[in-house]
Amino acid sequence: MRAFTGERAARRGPMLVGGALLLLLAAPLYLGSYWTSTLILVFFYAYTGQCWNILGGYAGQVSLGHAAFLGIGAYTSTALFMFAGLTPWLGMLAGGVLAALLGLCIGFVSFRFHIRGAYFILITLAFAEIFHLLALHLESLGGAQGLFVPFTGASWAKMQFKGNTNYYYVALALLVVITLVARALERSKLGLYLVAIREDEDASRALGVNTMRCKLAATAISAFFTALAGAFYSNYFFYIHPDEVLDVELSVDILLRPIVGGAGTLFGPIVGSFILTPLAELSRAYFSKEGLIGTHLIIYGLLLIAVVLFFPRGVAPYLARLVAGKRTS
């Protein structure tokens, strides 16, 4: 009986994921512009949260500097498009390589001197703030005015579209790709090493794991894919500003999704984004209309407190146990 139940639960998970993906593929046909835009933001934060999850969740290296990687991707792809005419699809890869190199630099400085915990958080925050200030004062990057991406006509080659539908599918495709990358990482030897490092780095090193190399690999992968989101951001909003793509508030928004959903789990960032992003958008719109500006932040904070108190490991593990038909503790 237990074996039968286990097999049924094992089939139920992929079926639910497949059904959810089919619903999301069909959603723009039935949803209006507002809800399509909201889902684009859900996918965006789920994607960036999954990128953070590779370093902060699986490897246990909590970063407050992922806005720097996203900003590098946004500015690189935009600059290459505006000044060299390079398609954003290639510009996003160039930004990803630059972000990965920055991640390796940050990682080498940190891991070479065994910086971890709160000190690693501070050093990632410091690097992000350095790039924030540089972008604010460099006129070649638009300075405090930011950069406006010129609209040259709807084109897949230029990642510019009229309406939200095509952006919706690009964002969904990015989310599927990073989820598959995270799944492959989970099943790889590197993924096992990262989890071991997260649980006890000293013991992992004693058992022969090259902890520095593994953490550098996680940092580079996380930074590379985060930069791709920056390229999407610039082409979706047609505008980038240091206070939007390089601010610490964005780094906090990125890490909140996997923490609420379940850091170190495959679907944690996705679940967290589906909880937090619509709540943030709906409450901001409603309370701003009522003249109660800032009230949505109170609701946001109360939700975070509730999740920490009742779901300390995140919401996704709880949902996984429900899908498997097990009792939750």
Position 10 scores a pLDDT of: 56
Q: Identify whether 305 is part of a domain.
A: no
Residues 6 or more apart in contact with residue 49 via CB below 8 angstroms:
254, 255, 256, 257, 258, 261, 268, 269, 270, 272, 273
| Helix (H) or strand (E) run with residue 109 in it | helix 88-112
Which residue's entry shows tokens 């971890």? 116
- Is there a domain that residue 326 lies in? no
For position 298, what pLDDT does the model report? 78
Q: Is residue 300 situated within a structural domain?
A: no
> What is the pLDDT at residue 313?
86
Q: Which stretches within 113-148 are classed as H helix?
A: 118-137
The pLDDT, as a whole number, for residue 204 is: 92
Angstrom distance (rounded) from CA 225 to CA 95: 10
What is the model's pLDDT at position 214?
Answer: 96
Query: Against a cut of 0.85, is the pTM above it?
Result: yes
Residue 9 lies in a domain: no
> Residue 272 domain-assigned?
no
- Paired tokens of 55: 């370093």
Q: What is the residue-level pLDDT of the chain in tens, covering all 329 positions?
A: 444 444 555 566 677 888 888 998 898 888 888 899 999 999 999 999 999 999 999 999 999 999 999 999 999 999 999 989 899 999 999 999 999 999 999 999 999 888 888 899 999 999 999 999 999 988 888 888 888 988 888 889 889 998 899 999 999 999 999 999 999 999 999 999 999 999 999 999 999 999 999 999 999 999 999 999 999 999 999 999 999 999 998 999 999 999 999 999 999 999 999 999 988 887 777 766 666 666 667 777 787 788 878 888 888 888 877 776 665 44
CA dist 182 and 164 (Å) reads 27
- Residue 234 located in a structural domain: yes
Residue 154 lies inside a defined structural domain of this protein: yes
Which pLDDT does position 15 carry in this prediction?
Answer: 79
Question: Domain range for residue 203?
Answer: 30-246
The structural domain count of the chain equals 1
Q: Per the domain annotation, does 291 fall within a domain? A: no
Burial degree of 303 (CB within 10 A; 0-12, 13-18, 19+): middle
Q: pLDDT at position 309, please?
A: 85
